[in-house]
Chains A and B, each alone.
Chain A
Amino acid sequence: MTGPSRLDPGSLRPGLSPSGTRSGLSRRGPGPSRLRPGALALALGALLASMVAGLLAGAADIAPGGIALQLLDWLPLVSADSGLTPVERNLLLELRLPRVLLGALVGGLLAVAGAAYQGAFRNPLADPYLLGAAAGAGLTTTAAIVFLKGDGDALVIPVAAFTGAVGGVLLAYALGNVAGRGGGTATLVLAGVAVSSFLTAVQTFVQQIGVDELERIYAWILGDVGGGWERITLVVPYAAVSVGVLLLHGRLLDVLSVGDDEAAGLGLHAARVRLAVLLAASLATAAAVAVSGLIGFVGIVVPHVVRRLAGGSYRIVLPLSLLGGGAFLVLADVLARTVLAPAELPIGVVTAFVGAPFFVAVLRMTRQVGT
């Protein structure tokens, strides 16, 4: 068998030698979109800044200088006298620090899962709850609150929410495969809508039975990133696996963006890639939902803002959504804790209230630049 045809750069453009005079162009000229160090540093900086803000803000008035010194003191090999009282130190370590970390983790998971869903479905309106994760978690958590009262074991609600989220997605996937010819995105989205409506109907019914628990149910649905270190240790293993798998699939999501037929022509099995991405993204969503409830808007706003500001390749969108989602949710939580202090707003209300105008502003701003 003869080898593939050679592409000689000079054969059509007389005057250009194949590898001589202008070969520098291929080295220093145009290249693939990649995550630029500047953009990565900016996103990391935004996340760190939001976390510092999260540590400084709160109902108790702790001196910012003391907090900074205390953080330094906790670093290995560094010793500093913060002047904080033991109560203040405890508040920082057991309440604010885990709250900020959980906010960053959940925001990152929801945003990266949203970006992955948008890529897998080639649909800019896809969000992490599209395939029934939210409705499934809503039903099982409501049932747990109403029937088990959620007392005694702090694990009851996270386990119920996680199981419901995974169950909802698997149900939608199974229904989509039965209804469609396998792998098609349109039937899968419709199956997700059907499963979500059905599970939400059942959830409403269960909620009516346990009307006394309405406040707790709504408090969970509207989201919360408090809860201490225990929740962080719950979510970290799932977060690590799902984020790792998703970040590995950035290039393949770019290939999927030209459609299944063309991906097949390029030797890629689109349905298999989509399944791997959706499983990982659903795991990320379920992990986030388990410890924080149903926080909306992060999964759809953050990836779009990233796309507008840094480029459309999923090799850029996925990692920057992870960082940007974290920063966004930590800041939303700061607002939730401070606007009506000492009362707290539900974080889901803040993400929508602040997120919507912010989103519109970014769309307008980037349009003027002309990208």
Chain B
Amino acid sequence: MSRILARDLEVALDGRTVLSGVGLAVGRGGWLAVIGANGAGKSTLLKALAGVLPCSGEVLVDDVPLRRLKPRERARLIAYAPQSPVLPADMTVFDYALLGRTPYIPHLGRESRADREATASVLERLGLEPFASRRLGRLSGGERQRVVLARALVQQAPVLLLDEPTTALDLGRQQQVLELVDRLRRADGLTVVTTLHDLGVAGQYADTMTLLSHGRVAASGAPADVLTEKLIDEHFGARVRIETGPGGRPGVHLERPHDIEPPASGP
């Protein structure tokens, strides 16, 4: 059984079709990476899945069609972190993470002790406890990314949608965040859908991949089936060499179009 299943998604923005006939299926504990060139519709797909963008078609979580649910009920099944989340500079880390409890708190009510404890436990788990009362405006890029992840986890939804979770992070921070997501999904059986612009990184973490091109699915399957030299040339216009690494995961190496001189060695 698929934990999240989407069929025939279609999104039109300002009269222009941005997504058309897109479907996907990810099982419990699975990690799907959505890849594609700029403007292919990756972020739009995540917003449509999260229900923050009107779309036609169907999204089901554990066989429940999301269209039939109230927004609050939907938010308990799907947590979504956008590519450029708004982090109010004055807000504390704890208050921000606590926003994830919104679908559980009565509309005009206040959070319960259980909500506070769920928030504190996620902060502790992500090593953010020392930052709990710090204001968001005073965090580094890596800390901000972890705080956004914390808010999504506090939602306690079985499906996690992350739009480019590693944008603007250096290589080490990218690896830390993605390893963290990987451990979380293994520990909790979370189903993860991410957009990732770095194909090499996507190939190392995802179980399955969907390649979007001009709003349609151009290929989907195991990373080795999607990350091929031919598909990457066709849809990204990039020349790469694919080498299968440990675990059968494809490694993507950029190739310069012409023979070039080796880098000059030092004195």
- Whether, in the assembled complex, B213 has its beta carbon less than 8 Å from a beta carbon of chain A, the answer is no
Q: Report if A257-B156 is in contact (Cβ < 8 Å); known contacts: A22-B124, A262-B82.
A: no
- Whether, in the assembled complex, A368 has its beta carbon less than 8 Å from a beta carbon of chain B, the answer is no
Complex alpha-carbon distance, A13 and B153, angstroms: 16
- Whether, in the assembled complex, B188 has its beta carbon less than 8 Å from a beta carbon of chain A, the answer is yes
Q: Report if A255-B158 is in contact (Cβ < 8 Å); known contacts: A12-B187, A265-B52, A265-B75.
A: no
Q: Are A267 and B95 in contact (CB under 8 A)?
A: no
Query: CB within 8 Å of B: which residues of A?
Result: 1-2, 4-9, 11-13, 16, 22, 25-26, 29-33, 248-249, 251-252, 254-255, 257-259, 261-269, 307, 311-313, 371
Complex alpha-carbon distance, A5 and B91, angstroms: 27
Q: Are A32 and B50 in contact (CB under 8 A)?
A: no
Q: Report if A32-B85 is in contact (Cβ < 8 Å); known contacts: A4-B156, A16-B124.
A: no
Q: Are A25 and B129 in contact (CB under 8 A)?
A: yes
- Which B residue sits closest to A307, measured CB to CB? B90
Q: Is the interface of A mostly helix, strand, loop or mixed?
A: loop
> Inside 8 A of A255's CB, which chain B residues have their CB?
99, 102
- Which A residue sits closest to B1, measured CB to CB? A2
Complex alpha-carbon distance, A31 and B121, angstroms: 11
Given A30-B94, A262-B82, A312-B89, 13 new contacts (CB under 8 A): A5-B188, A11-B125, A12-B183, A26-B121, A32-B95, A33-B92, A33-B95, A264-B50, A266-B100, A266-B102, A266-B155, A267-B70, A267-B72
- Which A residue sits closest to B70, measured CB to CB? A267
Query: CB within 8 Å of A: which residues of B?
Result: 28, 47, 50-52, 62-64, 70-80, 82, 85-92, 94-96, 98-100, 102-103, 105, 107-108, 110-111, 116-127, 129, 132-133, 135, 153, 155-158, 183-184, 187-190
Complex alpha-carbon distance, A33 and B90, angstroms: 11
Q: Which 4 A-B pairs have the closest CB atoms?
A: A312-B90, A30-B132, A267-B75, A267-B72
**Closest beta carbon of chain A to B102's beta carbon, Å:** 4
Q: Give which listed residue, A11, A30, A33, A254, contacts B120 with CB less than 8 A.
A: A30
Q: Are B99 and A266 in contact (CB under 8 A)?
A: yes
- Which A residue sits closest to B191, measured CB to CB? A5
Q: Report if A7-B91 is in contact (Cβ < 8 Å); known contacts: A13-B124, A267-B73.
A: no
Q: Are B118 and A7 in contact (CB under 8 A)?
A: yes
**Closest beta carbon of chain A to B131's beta carbon, Å:** 9
